[in-house]
Structure 1
Amino acid sequence: MKKWLIGGVAILMLSPTAALAQNTDTHPENTSPVIAYNVVANSKVTTWDQFTAEIVKQLNNFTPEIKITYSGSMTNFKDKFMDAYDKAQKQAVYASGHLESTAISADSSGNVTFKVKYFTNQSQEVAVQKKIDQVLKTIIKPSMTEFEKVKAINDYIVSNSDYGTKTKASPHSAYALLMEGQAVCQGYTLTAYKMLEQVGIESKYVVGFVNGNEDHAWNLVKVDGKWYHLDTTWNDPLPNRVGVSSYDYFLVTDAQLKKDHTWITSDYPAATSTTYSYMQNVHYAYQDKNTLYFSNTADNDKLYKLDLASGKKTKIIDKRALYITGADNFLYFSDFSNSGYLTKLNLKTLKMEVLVKQSVSDLRISDNHLVYNMNKKEQKLKIN
């Protein structure tokens, strides 16, 4: 009986094993302990479509050892089962994004075994699904438009994550991002993919390069029938700033993204719609109902508001406002037209009040307190 052994199979384009963003970490990653699973009994199939479907099912289950017995035509057998594995990876997008390596063995009787290493494991994926269910229940409402759903997912990921590799689980995994609050671009993109898929937004996992030759991953998303790029990693400021999101890589076109990203365009649908170009230059955003208050990087970080229904931007005051947050009818921000002093703005009267005459950062509201950093120490100020 002839037997083939194919070791170290490449993970193809859907699962870059070192897709880092913005900077490259050369240290070996921390991987979770190996856990023994019950090996799935041999699955018997007679067609290559059935063969592919079985691999998809097992990959989506994060099965470490996939055994299939094929009893159809043996013509070009080796090429056929390799092709089936390639097709399966393209269908099991989320699981394939977590693939670390695959070793394939087969014999001339049609028995094929795939020994798969993932960046995560079955128990971690149970935790991921539970966490995503909890998050989506909180941030997604039935009345939301597709745009609002994508924005809510982008904002959650960016606001609750830090780009990095200092995790116990693999930083390439959605588990690391959701459970440890830190990951590299692969973790950001896979988390976004799974969340988007669960709320009914069609998405694709894109791989390419940034800064010339650094591996990178991001999403393509379909909103109201049109494709857009979404790079949650690059919407998260580096170094990390708690609760801060930008939108320069939010629902953008191919032309916009090509300024600093490259990818094989023929492998993905074209993104040409400029419907959401008004989200550009929006930094340090704070949302109240359907209005975004933000620092406009196109106007020297001056304080603006954006009507999300119309896309209209309006300057509020001629002040450089960063780290914006708010409560009731007031905004709080660091006034960098005045040394970064902590400043309060009444949105009805536009009257400003300096609360702290020192430079502050990382403003947020928590339990009726304004929380901020000053001289690298967290401070609290009661606001009600």
Structure 2
Amino acid sequence: MKKWLIGGAALLMLSPTAAYAQQADARSVNTSPVSAYHVVASTNVTTWDQFTTEIVKQLNNFAPEINITYSGPMTDFKKNFMESFKKAQEQAVYAGGHMESTNISADSTGNVTFKVKYLTNQTQEAAVQKKVDQLLKAIIKPSMTEFEKVKAINDYIVSNATYGTKTKASPHSAYALLMEGQAVCQGYALAAYKMLDQAGFDAKYVVGTVNGNVAHAWNLVKVDGQWYHLDTTWNDPLPNRFGASSYDYFLVTDAQLKKDHKWIASNYPAATSTKYNYMLNVHFAYQDKNTLYFSNTADKDKLYKLDLASGKKTKVIDKRALYITGADDFLYFSDYSNSGYLTKLNLKTLKTEVLVKQAVTDLRINDNFLVYNVKGNEQKLKIK
């Protein structure tokens, strides 16, 4: 009886770049060692399509060991079971993205065993599923357009996650991002894929490089029949800034992304539509109904508004506004035309008022209070 032992390790995406901060983490790519083990057959199949289907099923269940007995024609047996495993990985996108290492044992009588080490486990994935169910119910409404749904998913991830590795679970997993609020780019992209897929979108998990040859991961998503790139990691500034999201990597084209990303384009659908290019240069965005108030990086961070229905951008006032938030008919922001002072803007009259003569950051509304930081110390100001 002839026996094959084949081992392999999957790449782990370790390197984010924050679009706003314009910096990258250049840590090396991790691989993991593998070891051989004994074959124990269980599921019986007679065709290679059945073989692939069974692997997909087991991968999606995050099974650590997959045992299959193939009893069909044995011509090119080794080549065929390896090709079936590759096809299964491509079909089980979310689970495949979580694979850390694999070890394959097979013999000439048709017994094949795949031992898989994941970045997560079945218990964690049950928690992820419950969390995603709750999140999508809260942030996605039937009346939303596809654009609005993707934006809601992007905004949730960017607003509730921090790039980093200080997690109990693997920081490369969707679990770390969704349950611990921290992950690296692999976790961002896998969480986004999970949410997009469950929300009904055709999505891809993309592996490539940035800043030369630094490994990176992001997504492709089909919106209204057109493919677009979505990089939630690069929409989330580094170091983390509360409320500081950007949209420079939100529903962009191949041409736009190729300015700083590289990938094997032939492995993925082409993204050519420029429909949502109006989202470029939108930072520190605060949304009020169908209007985004934002810091326009194309005009020295001046305060602008964007009509999401038309895509039209208009300057609101000639001030550099960061950390924008709002309530009722007022905006609050750090006025970097005036030393970063906490400033209030009346949207009806466009008159401004300095509330705190100190540089402030990380503005947000909590109940009836405006919460902000001064030199890293949290402060509160009652606004109602």
| TM-score above 0.5 | yes
Instruction: Please give the alpha-carbon distance, in whole angstroms, between the structure 2 residues aligned to 1:114 and 1:176.
Output: 26
Which digits, 9 at most, give the CA deviation of each residue in 1:4-35, with x for residues without a partner?
Answer: 1112x243xxxx32442231335989xxxxxx
Equivalent residue of 1:96, what SS? helix
User: Pairwise mapping of residues 310-349 of structure 1 onto structure 2 (< 5 A)?
Assistant: 310-349=310-349
Q: Call closer, same or farther: CA 1:318–1:86 in 2, change over 3 Å.
A: same
- Find the counterpart in structure 2 of residue 52 from structure 1: 52
Instruction: Please give the alpha-carbon distance, in whole angstroms, between the structure 1 residues aligned to 2:250 and 2:54.
Output: 36
CA shift, 1:314, in A, is 0.5
Structure 1 stretches (4+) deviating beyond 6 angstroms?
none
- Find the counterpart in structure 1 of residue 247 from structure 2: 247
CA shift, 1:243, in A, is 2.4
Aligned residues: 370
TM-score when normalising by structure 1:
0.94
Amino acid at match of 2:365: I
Q: Does 1:25 align with 2:39?
A: no
Equivalent pair of 1:105/1:114 in contact (CA under 8 Å): yes
Instruction: Please give the alpha-carbon distance, in whole angstroms, between the structure 2 residues aligned to 1:10 and 1:218.
Output: 20
Instruction: Please give the alpha-carbon distance, in whole angstroms, between the structure 2 residues aligned to 1:232 and 1:158.
Output: 6
Which digits, 9 at most, give the CA deviation of each residue in 1:292-340, with x for residues without a partner?
Answer: 0000000000000000000000000000000000011100000000100
Equivalent pair of 2:56/2:89 in contact (CA under 8 Å): yes
Q: Call closer, same or farther: CA 1:343–1:378 in 2, change over 3 Å.
A: same
Which digits, 9 at most, give the CA deviation of each residue in 1:35-57, with x for residues without a partner?
Answer: xxxx9971110000000000000
Structure 2 residue runs without a partner (length 5+): 18-24, 32-38
Q: Call closer, same or farther: CA 1:347–1:128 in 2, change over 3 Å.
A: same
Instruction: Please give the alpha-carbon distance, in whole angstroms, between the structure 1 residues aligned to 2:28 and 2:280.
Output: 33
Instruction: Please give the alpha-carbon distance, in whole angstroms, between the structure 2 residues aligned to 1:269 and 1:28.
Output: 28
Structure 1 residue runs without a partner (length 5+): 30-38
Instruction: Please give the alpha-carbon distance, in whole angstroms, between the structure 2 residues aligned to 1:382 and 1:41.
Output: 67
- Find the counterpart in structure 1 of residue 21 from structure 2: none
Equivalent pair of 1:160/1:243 in contact (CA under 8 Å): no
Equivalent residue of 1:109, what SS? coil
Instruction: Please give the alpha-carbon distance, in whole angstroms, between the structure 2 residues aligned to 1:114 and 1:264.
Output: 27
CA shift, 1:375, in A, is 1.5
Q: Does 1:120 align with 2:120?
A: yes
TM-score when normalising by structure 2:
0.94
Equivalent pair of 1:172/1:183 in contact (CA under 8 Å): yes
Instruction: Please give the alpha-carbon distance, in whole angstroms, between the structure 2 residues aligned to 1:40 and 1:196.
Output: 37
CA shift, 1:63, in A, is 0.2
- Find the counterpart in structure 2 of residue 268 from structure 1: 268
Equivalent residue of 1:200, what SS? coil
Equivalent residue of 2:274, what SS? coil
Q: Call closer, same or farther: CA 1:252–1:27 in 2, change over 3 Å.
A: closer
- Find the counterpart in structure 2 of residue 33 from structure 1: none
Q: Call closer, same or farther: CA 1:105–1:278 in 2, change over 3 Å.
A: same
CA shift, 1:224, in A, is 0.4
Instruction: Please give the alpha-carbon distance, in whole angstroms, between the structure 1 residues aligned to 2:375 and 2:219.
Output: 37
CA shift, 1:381, in A, is 0.8
